[in-house]
Structure 1
Amino acid sequence: MAERTETRKLPRGERCTQCGDRRYYLENGLRFCASNGHEIEGFVQFDIGEEEDSGKMGMVTRKEKERKERERKHLTGLAGKSLFLEALQLILRYQLSWMIHEKGFRDELETVVRDLWDLRIRAFSSLVPDETEAPDTLEVFSSQPLPDEGEVVVKSSATNRSWDADRGSNWPMPKMSDTLGLCYLGCLLLRIPIRIGEIFQWVTSNNMPYNRVYFSLPQEMKDRMPSFFTQALKLPFQTPLVGGELHQTILHLVMSFSFNYELIFPALSYVPIFVQLARNLSLPAEVIHGAKELSSALSCTFQYPIRKQRVFPIDHPEILLISLLIISTKLCFPFDGSRPLVTDGYTFDWERWSQARAKQEPPNHEKHSMTEYSAQEIVSLDDEELDQFFSQLASLNDSKIKNPVTRFFPVENVPELEPPVPEIVPQELDAGVKQVLSEAIQKSSGSGEETTNEDADLGVNYEAFNHLEDLNAPGKTLYEAAGKNELYSIHKTTH
């Protein structure tokens, strides 16, 4: 039992409720008035222990601090570039795996392309870190559209083609489109007849890994990738691949391999490509023979012009191929119905050919790039188009970017992509070609007449067109189809 303490004075305003005394004493943890010993309610005494526990009652628990997840830091300098090269190498493996397992290419293709990739980046391991290099500077990648294809004249120089490690911070990093170029050059070394247009169609139809292959990369790799390299890897999803760009990329690779390693790529296997083009354009077999004769007469080698200082579009082997085929077609079967080279008892009706081709033309799946929109076009977009536009903008964002504007465009993990466009199987293509030719080829009414010597000396007039407006409807259809097959504008195919 606790002893009685000395009397004390109650706080101001308090007194004993029974006798009114204002003095009290403590006993056994309770208060009693000093005069009559009445208990004063509303008070319980607690023992005060250590100094640090004063003012506390009951059990004391300490709240654990929340552990903040530490974000991985982006790599910079050579480490960031090395990570980007690893990402490109992984993308290249994805593409080769698709070509081998889905398209049936030989397994040797992976070995050849791997060796080409090793040659392309071999000098990178010898680079010395440059402390003066700005970590966020990159001049290799651009989303700006190419100039008019007819004005694209490649001016080759030793500086642009060199992959020497002595270039230091100016060492040229590969681009995303280089992966497609290496796949094409690997096929060229193995003498596999493939066209640039085929690769382009695989990419634009979302079948070949390219457009959004960035989202298939490992998360740790994406977390540590520098933001400007991340944007370069996302660029194909934002800006559609341009055929002229792919031609220039392959030409630059061919010239660079020749300059750095004296590697000469073989000529194109032009006969199978002539057959492919004639088949795609639904043209008679006679035009193939005519194109071969023209190439022989002009001494065409169909090799890349590695020693030319100025390279024009017609110097590209595949563009030369389609040009010769168009010339042969116009000589064999003129648009105006004049005397053709082929007089085997039938005529070619271009109007029927054009109508039959129009029935089999697949829908256009080209993606509109957000860089092609003007301010006026953006304002006039409907709700669905505007959502797609902002979705493309949001996919460019990086979660590490500390820009207040980006809060209006939340980061999207995996943007939606149109499903792959089913490819036309060879049987369907052959059936379509037969249908078009059966409607276009007509028996000649004068097939039994003999050709006189006077008629034979007249020769054949070649009809040239100086302007696009001069073409009739079938001619325009043929030129557009030819340009689509070789990814070049109708304005730039041969006249």
Structure 2
Amino acid sequence: MEYVTRGVCGQEGCRERRYYLDNGLWFCRRGHLQEGRQIEEDPDDFGTQGKKHRVKKDKEERSQKTYRGRKAHTVFLQAYQLILWKQCHALIHDHGFPEQFEAVLRDLWALRLQDFTLRINATTDDEEDDDRELFSSQPETDSSDDLGFKSRGGRYLEWPRLLDSVGLCYLAAILMRLPVCVSDFHRLIIRQDIPYIRVAKSIPHEMRDKLPPELVARLDVLQLPKLETLHRAFVDLVLQYQQRFEIALPPINSNIILYRHIKRLAIPIDVYETVRFLKGLLGFNYAFDATAKQKRIINQPEVQLMALIVVATKLLFPFDDLERHPATAKEPATQAINWSLWARAQTHFNRRESASGKIGKEQVIQLTDKDVLNMAPSQLDEYMDWYESNWIDSFRLVNPVADMFATNRTTETPAPPQAPPPSTLATAADPEEALNSLVHTVMQELQTNEVNPDPEEDDRRPGSWYWRYRWESQLTDTARSFYELAAQLAAVSLQTLIHAVTVTEYRIAKTIEDKRRAEYFSQVMDLDMEGDADEDSIDGMDELDEQLTELDVGGGP
């Protein structure tokens, strides 16, 4: 029996100090029950603690490790492929792209993925390869130069950019001859109809935590691409696929795209046939040619098409107020556009969403701090809701205190809907109805030019006194509005479109002059062979040569 030494027992004069425990009660060695004493803490065990058992966290630490080298690039390509699938899914299910679009896009990505797979397999150990990439100051001389994609500046794009994912969608649309343009994809990005801005937030956090910061930065785009930057990136990607994989690309679907541009510009349909005539005159084919000098903006298909639209519009419906009398009533120039009304209608169309009290999808991402000061309370709520859904990352909210401060607004009882005023009925309609309303407004105000079959010497014919704008400062107010809208549809800057139109006008003038000179020299050869060139015919040839010398398609008054 085990005894515990304590104080003196004291019962019946007992001086015993040793005690034992029996059924939870203490008894001294002589058998005296110790009243009021049960199991209690032993003072001799004061300050003692139990054994410490450490839980191993090897698996948790290993799952949170940031990859480097080969593993990091593998996870990066998997995340990139997920983003590409999300963009394809949005285009098919939300914007009417055919289901075969996914198969074409998958094949294009598989071709590009071959080069990345070869590059990943060519690397050695992960850590050593990562150190070499980060700290080596010597240029790489491996075989990856044959695998990379070369940009305009001569730099090889070793790993794909987020901009290239949208470019692959554009390339797949060209292969399927879908009537879409670069400006359409830019509008989808601005309106956030396809994943692009803050797309890294949609990547699973288990995958994102394994990526190093430099690779996450390639996916986390915070700025909108400019129109011309987007256009240049798409053209580079298309030409690189042609050169690297020898893909034969068809021309763009110019007929439907031409009709779409004419409708959006709200100009008469007569421009359609004039553009087709000018296309045959210049020999444009609206195709991407890897052998041509694509640095020349006029060699890009969409720019060619828009330049011809601008030239045809200036020939049939000039921006000045000069009277030009057609010879017959069948000529397209019997109509004249009220350009002042056209400009007001276009402004009203562009502001159709803000006129209804909403910010609009295309404007919300372009707001500045000055714009916020002029917002109504409802617009502020709309902006904050957009900011919450796009910029707040739910995976990063690990602080338990954050749950006490909810970011979403409390639901309120909505007010009963009120009928919109008659002036806002057109603005509240869907985009297609608003565009039809724009065209109807401009077309019903077309003016009529007087037909003059027997013109006098001072009468002007359609196409005469053709204004040619070589610089942006030369544009009139009406011409500037038209050029700016045309540049937006062509996905280039205003100065780039002016240059493309100038080159097109020069080529048209040179083509007409070459044809007239060919006719002139053929007449000279016939006269020399016949040997009966009289004085009147020589005078006629001199007059023709004088007309060729003074020919200037772009000359203004």
- TM-score where L is the length of structure 1: 0.69
Q: Does 1:452 align with 2:436?
A: no
Deviation of 1:299 after TM superposition, in Å, equals 0.5
Cα–Cα, structure 1 residues 209 and 458, in superposed 2: closer, same or farther, change >3 Å?
Answer: closer
Question: CA-to-partner distance for each residue in 1:264-318, whole Å, 9 max, x for gaps?
Answer: 2111121211111111111111122222111111101111231135612232211
Q: Does 1:203 align with 2:182?
A: no
The whole-number CA distance in structure 1 between the counterparts of 2:297 and 2:303 is: 7
2:337 is aligned to 348
The whole-number CA distance in structure 1 between the counterparts of 2:18 and 2:444 is: 118
Deviation of 1:344 after TM superposition, in Å, equals 5.1
The whole-number CA distance in structure 2 between the counterparts of 1:437 and 1:48 is: 100
The whole-number CA distance in structure 1 between the counterparts of 2:433 and 2:106 is: 33
2:315 is aligned to 331
Question: CA-to-partner distance for each residue in 1:211-251, whole Å, 9 max, x for gaps?
Answer: 2332222222112122211111111xx11122222212221
User: After the TM superposition, which residues 140-155 of structure 1 pair with which residues of structure 2 at under 5 Å, given as runs?
Assistant: none
2:228 is aligned to 244
Q: Does 1:108 align with 2:100?
A: yes
Check whether the contact 2:345–2:438 (CA below 8 A) recurs between aligned residues.
no
User: After the TM superposition, which residues 167-316 of structure 1 pair with which residues of structure 2 at under 5 Å, given as runs?
Assistant: 172-235=158-221, 238-309=222-293, 311-316=295-300
The whole-number CA distance in structure 1 between the counterparts of 2:346 and 2:47 is: 91
Deviation of 1:120 after TM superposition, in Å, equals 1.0
Deviation of 1:160 after TM superposition, in Å, equals 8.8
1:17 is aligned to none
Deviation of 1:180 after TM superposition, in Å, equals 0.9
Deviation of 1:65 after TM superposition, in Å, equals 5.6
Cα–Cα, structure 1 residues 350 and 136, in superposed 2: closer, same or farther, change >3 Å?
Answer: farther
Question: CA-to-partner distance for each residue in 1:17-55, whole Å, 9 max, x for gaps?
Answer: xxxxxxxx87457xxxxxxxxxxxxxx9x9999xxx953
Amino acid at match of 2:432: P
1:90 is aligned to 82
Deviation of 1:195 after TM superposition, in Å, equals 0.9
- Of the three residues 418, 429, 433, the one matched with 1:427 is 433
Q: CA RMSD in A?
A: 4.8
The whole-number CA distance in structure 1 between the counterparts of 2:2 and 2:178 is: 105
Deviation of 1:94 after TM superposition, in Å, equals 1.1
Amino acid at match of 2:99: D
Comparing 255-264 with 326-335, which one deviates more in the overlay? Answer: 255-264
Deviation of 1:137 after TM superposition, in Å, equals 5.4
Cα–Cα, structure 1 residues 160 and 242, in superposed 2: closer, same or farther, change >3 Å?
Answer: farther
- TM-score where L is the length of structure 2: 0.62
The whole-number CA distance in structure 2 between the counterparts of 1:482 and 1:252 is: 22
The whole-number CA distance in structure 1 between the counterparts of 2:441 and 2:294 is: 43
1:360 is aligned to 349
- Of the three residues 44, 55, 64, the one matched with 2:45 is 55
Check whether the contact 1:240–1:367 (CA below 8 A) recurs between aligned residues.
no
Amino acid at match of 1:432: L
Cα–Cα, structure 1 residues 57 and 174, in superposed 2: closer, same or farther, change >3 Å?
Answer: closer
Q: Secondary structure at the match of 1:224?
A: coil
The whole-number CA distance in structure 2 between the counterparts of 1:198 and 1:326 is: 20
Q: Secondary structure at the match of 2:444?
A: helix
Amino acid at match of 1:279: K
Amino acid at match of 2:213: S
Deviation of 1:459 after TM superposition, in Å, equals 5.5
Cα–Cα, structure 1 residues 48 and 249, in superposed 2: closer, same or farther, change >3 Å?
Answer: closer
Amino acid at match of 1:192: L
Cα–Cα, structure 1 residues 339 and 188, in superposed 2: closer, same or farther, change >3 Å?
Answer: farther
The whole-number CA distance in structure 2 between the counterparts of 1:62 and 1:433 is: 84
Deviation of 1:200 after TM superposition, in Å, equals 0.9
The whole-number CA distance in structure 2 between the counterparts of 1:435 and 1:192 is: 29
Amino acid at match of 2:343: S
The whole-number CA distance in structure 1 between the counterparts of 2:79 and 2:118 is: 19
Check whether the contact 1:353–1:436 (CA below 8 A) recurs between aligned residues.
yes
The whole-number CA distance in structure 1 between the counterparts of 2:131 and 2:234 is: 29
Amino acid at match of 1:111: A
Cα–Cα, structure 1 residues 276 and 394, in superposed 2: closer, same or farther, change >3 Å?
Answer: closer
The whole-number CA distance in structure 2 between the counterparts of 1:187 and 1:119 is: 17
Amino acid at match of 2:117: S
Check whether the contact 1:346–1:442 (CA below 8 A) recurs between aligned residues.
yes
The whole-number CA distance in structure 2 between the counterparts of 1:246 and 1:428 is: 27
What runs of 5+ residues in structure 2 fail to find an aligned partner? 8-14, 20-36, 135-143, 151-155, 355-359, 397-401, 409-427, 503-557
The whole-number CA distance in structure 1 between the counterparts of 2:440 and 2:312 is: 20
Check whether the contact 2:349–2:435 (CA below 8 A) recurs between aligned residues.
no
Cα–Cα, structure 1 residues 215 and 350, in superposed 2: closer, same or farther, change >3 Å?
Answer: same
Deviation of 1:346 after TM superposition, in Å, equals 2.8
The whole-number CA distance in structure 1 between the counterparts of 2:431 and 2:462 is: 44
Comparing 204-213 with 463-472, which one deviates more in the overlay? Answer: 463-472
Check whether the contact 2:315–2:462 (CA below 8 A) recurs between aligned residues.
no
Amino acid at match of 1:74: T
Check whether the contact 2:323–2:460 (CA below 8 A) recurs between aligned residues.
no
Check whether the contact 1:357–1:436 (CA below 8 A) recurs between aligned residues.
no
Question: CA-to-partner distance for each residue in 1:353-380, whole Å, 9 max, x for gaps?
Answer: 112222222357356789x99xxx9xx9
1:151 is aligned to none
Q: Secondary structure at the match of 2:178?
A: coil
